[in-house]
Amino acid sequence: MNKKILTHVKQRLEINDQVGIGVSRNYNSIVVEARSYESLTFDERDMRNCIDTARRLRLGEGDGNALQKYFLRMQAQNSSFYYMIDVDTDFRIRNLFWADVMSRMAYEEFGDVVSFDTTYLTNKYDMPFAPFVGVNHHGQSILFGCGLLSSEDTDTFV
């Protein structure tokens, strides 16, 4: 079965979640509206995953602006500072990546092998931290760049 939650349903789920309607009640209301479980192209677990993703994408008021200002200030201090912010259709941050000048120089010198591990930790928004790490000529770990991800799927990694 093609498990897809339509955009208008996702929006309704997110609004209901924001006002405190639980996932089970949310799902049951959609089942009643569809008149059967078989009429839906997703199940309650898919809906929970959708809501979890939406929650991760909700930054606190001003957090996105503060982040953008910080990155712009870092770039003004050194034009080799690099960052990329990926936003969704509502301009909410989905993913971000940054690398300072020292990390970029280290990558140029020692970037033959890069380790990418999202299992280390998450931030207060449950976004996995994704360090890009290599090894220098002394056998020491060095940081090439960092990212925060909204999910751990192929599209996000690309």
| pLDDT at site 1 | 45
Model pTM score: 0.57
> What's the per-residue H, E or C state across the chain?
CCCCCCHHHHHHHHHHHHCCCCHHHHHHHHHHHHCCHHHCCCCHHHHHHHHHHHHHHCCCCCHHHHHHHHHHHHHHHCCCCEEEEEECCCCCEEEEEEECHHHHHHHHHHCCCCEECCCCCECCCCCEEEEEEEECCCCCEEEEEEEECCCCCHHHHC
What confidence category does residue 57 fall into, taking pLDDT thresholds of 50, 70 and 90? low
The answer to whether residue 74 scores a pLDDT higher than 60 is: yes
Average pLDDT of the segment spanning 136-146 = 93
Per-residue pLDDT of 12-37, as tens digits, reads: 888 888 788 888 888 888 889 888 88
What confidence category does residue 102 fall into, taking pLDDT thresholds of 50, 70 and 90? very high
